[in-house]
Structure 1
Amino acid sequence: MSAIRVAQNSRATITSLISLMNKSCTCPAHSHARTVSKTHRGPCSSHPHAHAHHQHHHHHTKEGAEPDMAHEYAFEMASSTMRFGEGVTREVGMDLANMKAKKVLVMTDSNIAKLPVMQTVVESLKRSNVPFVVYDRTRAEPTDKSFQEAIEFTKLHKPDVFVAVGGGSVMDTCKAANLYFNYPDADLLEFVNAPIGKGSVIDKDLSPLIAIPTTAGTGSETTGTAIFDYEPLHVKTGIASRKMRPTLGIVDPLNTRTMPRQVKIASGLDVLCHALESYTALPYQERTPRPANPAERPAYQGSNPISDIWSLEALRLTVKYLARSANDPLDAEANEQMCLAAAAAGTGFGSAGVHLCHGMSYPISGLNKSYKHPEYNVGHKIVPHGISVAVTAPAVFKYTGEACPDRHFKAAEIFGADLSKVRKGESAGPLLADQLRKFLSGLGVPDGISALGYTKADIPALVKGTLPQHRVTKLAPLQTGAEALEKIFEDTLKNY
């Protein structure tokens, strides 16, 4: 079914679902701690030197309670196999030969198709006598239409293995093409996150997919997530499942040297927010409901002791190396460390998830009227994903600071805050927000959403576009309703 027919058949249903989301949810699965706009996620010491890994609530369930009414009690770690090293791209042909691939679909975009990385991939496939076809029409910040075009190309050529060469947009498009090639009769919205899509469970293995990132940002080479603009509703949404994780991520720092400065900054800011949001996400034990079947456990489960390790390391690396990498394309150490940061953050948020910065970024991108970010040679208006998540970060973490101040203090310290000078009772949220403003200003990031063309009059639409993003917003450390979102967007109009 074409994207247009899907939109026609589903728009009325989706619109009414989104309308319902603006009302109070009283269903059992969401009733716990969701009737007020702010609910603390657990006891966190407000002292600036409190240990970063705070104690979580231990929720007890009465004997005989229904499983789907109980809090979560487990988390799962899942990530792709990753190969890291300068020049490792040239091994991909051998990997495909080892898989006994009969026909490979190499997916990229029109800009990357002209770069050395694609020449390396093509030469490697030819050297190993691997048959392949190239699709080079993926769209930066993909849409339902661009996903559908890639899916139709895939069905026409019937590959048995996929290779994605590009940034997050290429990798996400390739994941979607793989998914719907293996579910040829499914509508586009079948697996899209509810309430925009049906949110059906992917219940079978997909074809092998090798991801070769050319940016240091999304971490899509390690995750089972594919994000796109659903144009009929002007919102970003996505598909998330462990089944969509790449079989192998080939991370080669040489492939990031050709990124323009603005692309490096935007990509690196995505790493930054992945790290901060996953580290401060709702603890996994506080997420409800517990799945009745482990196959239904979501990819994004809340912060946990293992994701914390990856997220903090990604934050440290990004703070230290992003500006260096952006300012000097030949800084090999900075390029390499940002590639590691992106992969580390992907591993962390791939199980913990992200929250408000990402949830609020989707309407910022989807409702864009005319803004086109510099150095993005894409031929259409664009707020890069990393920019759309970063502009809300100061206001978001100012807001969430009271939920787990120890973690916000720890993050502020990584940015350079001197905790020995923090006065007793000083709030962690504003401290981290100040550090973020300095960091973003130093990189020349646009000054809030007003610099992207939004005014106060646009805030109701931005709030409406955020409310359905349950996959991420429900993982915020404070349960956040429309009133709180409106205040955060107001605080995001200008950052400096």
Structure 2
Amino acid sequence: MSCCHHYALAPGGDAAFTVDVSAITFGPGCLAEAGDHALRLGLQRVALFTDARLADSEHVAIVRRALADAGVDCVVYDAVEVEPTDASFLAAARFAREGDFDGFISVGGGSVIDTAKAANLYATYPADLAAYVNAPLGEARAVPGPLKPHIACPTTSGTGAECTGIAIFDWVARGVKTGIVSRLLRPTLALIDPVTTWTLPRTVVAASGFDVLSHALESYTALPHTCRAKAERPSLRPMSQGANPWSDFGCEKALQLTGQYLERAVRDAADHEARNGMMWAATLAGIAFGNAGVHLPHGMAYAVAGGVRDYRAPDYPPEHPMVPHGMSVIVNAPAVFRFTADACPERHLQAAGWLGAETRGATAADAGEIVAQRLIALMQACDIPNGVGGVGYHAGDIPSLTAGAWAQQRLVKNAPKAVDEGHLSTLFRNALQYW
């Protein structure tokens, strides 16, 4: 029986939850504050992480000017890969270790912010790559202590990386995405300037916007914290602790904003109200899932992105095949939420309504189909591929996709109902095509 929605305490469950709040400055023009914040944090020599496409952008120039005006020495690292790999994480860590920096600034999307987190970690506490990586793929060793200050400046409205202690990468040799999770990875400060999104191309806005949507929807429907086994010690309570009353606030508003603004933001770059609204939604959803955790759509996404063969998304670097993160998440979502709806139908219906679905007169039995159809309609409106098949997979890939998703136990166990490998195989089969 589900204890979703009203947080009834399950036998052996945890009655308490932890609120981790990121330090955030939000608003047009706030990138120009980077120098003053760096001084406040005692920084004198920083590594500025970005990628090759952003290195010459006005966003990076604003931050560099602010640092120079404050007298802070800045060295730019622009070799970050979009969708980072084990090799790109290690190269960034090498740069960070050799540069003798006292802090980090990241200007870019989730890939840039995550790379700066990893570089900070491995430069501060050197170890083999596998040491801090999530089990079962890595050793899941605890981060030994505090990291150096990190100011994160997101330029996409989606990943929420500036608000979380999560760093995701593609472990190429293993053909799967995985990550490192620790509260200590969370950036010291996020400078969130929505102006950075005004020039983003359509597909980037769509993919990042669907990441926002799924962060909020997954966190809102995650296993309640009261159903998670109580940790041996309070300090061991996981960062992804399950749905809780704090994360619910962010999820609700993020879903409402996404329902209001996503299509507009994708359709019209000049609609600054919509693009600003999606940046605020991304921030709220980032805070929410940083406390509650996501579940199956993200767990499945790491297999979808990690096993890509030749799919290339419009508006993304064409050099290498890649399924952008938010796209790899949302192609699974309609199948997943049809499956999870019976665990907490009220929450699925509420979320569908916030996203713009008609829910009057709906019953609990209708919840899965209503939320799935709303997601499908939004995907179609924003030119998202038609399911997992739309990014190059077929039925013969289901065993490898299942194995890749099953390895993401941190996420699988956060689903609102028990999941085994058979369930995952069925979900991938149901996600191959929606229309």
> 1:337 maps to what in 2?
277
- Among residues 241, 252, 276, which one is paired with 1:301 in the alignment? 241
Q: Deviations over 1:98-119 (max 9, x none)?
A: 2231210000000011211011
Q: How do residues 430-441 of structure 1 correspond to structure 2 at under 5 angstroms?
A: 430-441=369-380
Amino acid at match of 1:380: H
Query: Runs of 4+ in structure 1 displaced over 6 angstroms?
Result: none
Q: 2:348 aligns with which of 402, 408, 412?
A: 408
| CA–CA separation in structure 2 for the residues paired with 1:286 and 1:384 | 33
TM-score normalised by the chain length of structure 1: 0.86
How far the C-alpha of 1:332 sits from its partner, in A, is: 1.6
The whole-number CA distance in structure 2 between the counterparts of 1:355 and 1:134 is 35
**Post-superposition shift, 1:418?**
2.6
**Partner deviation per Cα, 1:262-307 (whole Å, 9 max, x = no partner):** 101101110000000000000001112x222233221100000110
- Any conservation in 2 of the 1:201–1:296 contact (CA below 8 Å)? no
Q: 2:276, 2:360 → 1: CA distance?
A: 33
**Aligned alpha-carbon RMSD (Å):** 1.2
Percent identity for Structure 1 against Structure 2: 44
Question: How far has the Cα of 1:451 moved from its partner?
Answer: 1.3
Question: C-alpha displacement at 1:256, in angstroms?
Answer: 1.2
Match of 2:73 among 118, 131, 136: 131
Aligned to 1:285: 226
The 1:339/1:425 distance shift into structure 2, 3 A limit, reads closer
Q: Is the 8 A contact 2:9 2:15 kept in 1?
A: no
Aligned residue runs from structure 1 range 257-296, under 5 A = 257-288=198-229, 290-296=230-236
Pick the aligned partner of 2:174 from 224, 230, 233: 233
Distance 1:165 1:111, change over 3 A: same
AA aligned opposite 2:284: A
Matches within 5 A, 1:40-51: 40-42=1-3
**Any conservation in 1 of the 2:299–2:405 contact (CA below 8 Å)?**
yes
Q: Distance in 1 between matches of 2:63 and 2:135?
A: 37
Per-residue deviation, residues 123-144 of structure 1 (Å, max 9, x unmatched): 1111111111110000011010
Aligned to 1:27: none
Structure 2: how far apart are the matches of 1:239 and 1:324?
34
Q: Deviations over 1:229-252 (max 9, x none)?
A: 111110110011111111100000
Partners in 2 of 1:120 and 1:420 — Cα distance?
48
Q: Could you tell me which residue of structure 1 aligns to residue 309 of structure 2?
A: 369
Equivalent residue for 1:98? 40
Cα contact 2:133–2:179 (8 A) shared by 1: yes
Which of 113, 117, 142 aligns to 1:171? It is 113
Q: Is contact 2:346-2:364 (8 Å) kept?
A: no
Correspondence 1:467 to 2:428: no
* Rounded Cα–Cα distance in structure 1 between residues aligned with 2:35 and 2:223: 42
2:125–2:144 contact (8 Å) kept in structure 1: no
The one of 94, 109, 124 equivalent to 2:51 is: 109
Partner residue, 2:299: 359
Structure 1 range deviating more: 109-118 or 196-205: 196-205
| Aligned-partner Cα distance in 1 for 2:257–2:10 | 35
The alignment of Structure 1 onto Structure 2 pairs a total of residues equal to 435
Give the deviation of 1:378 after TM superposition: 5.2
Q: Which has the higher contact order (CA 8 A, sep 6+)?
A: 1
CA contact (8 A) 2:342 2:364 kept: no
SS at match of 2:44: coil
Q: Does 1:252 align with 2:188?
A: no
**Secondary structure of the residue that 1:402 maps to in structure 2?**
helix
Given that 1:416 and 1:435 are in contact with CA atoms closer than 8 Å, whether structure 2 keeps it comes out as: yes
Partner amino acid, structure 2, of 1:152: R
Residues 417, 100 of structure 1: CA spacing in aligned structure 2 closer, same or farther, 3 A cutoff? Answer: closer
Worse-superposed segment, 323-332 or 150-159: 323-332
Q: 2:341 & 2:42 partners in 1: Cα distance?
A: 51
- Give the counterpart letter for 2:7 in structure 1: H
Is the 2:340–2:416 contact (alpha carbons within 8 Å) kept by the matching residues of 1? yes
Match of 2:311, SS state, is: coil
Deviation sequence 1:65-88 (CA, Å, 0-9, x none) = xxxxx4323211113200011111
Is this contact kept in 2: 1:140–1:378, CA < 8 A?
no
Residue ranges of structure 1 left out of the alignment (5+ in a row): 1-39, 45-53, 61-69
> Which residue in 2 is equivalent to 1:203?
144
Moved more, 272-281 or 74-83: 74-83
1:421 to 340, 361, 373: 361
| One-letter amino acid matched to 1:449 | V
Shift of 1:450: 1.0
Classify the secondary structure of the residue corresponding to 2:365. Answer: coil
Aligned-partner residue type, residue 464 of structure 1: A
Which of 454, 478, 481 lines up with 2:420 in the alignment? 481
**SS of equivalent residue, structure 2 residue 379:** helix
In 2, Cα distance between equivalents of 1:425 and 1:223: 33
SS class of match (1:267): helix
Q: Give 2:157's aligned residue.
A: 216
Looking at structure 2, the residues matched to 91 and 465 of structure 1 have their Cα atoms a distance apart, in angstroms, of: 42
Hey, what's the Cα distance between the residues in 1 that align with 2:261 and 2:365? 29
Give the letter for the 2:400 counterpart: A
One-letter amino acid matched to 2:238: P
Q: Offset at 1:170?
A: 0.2
Partner of residue 120, structure 1: 62
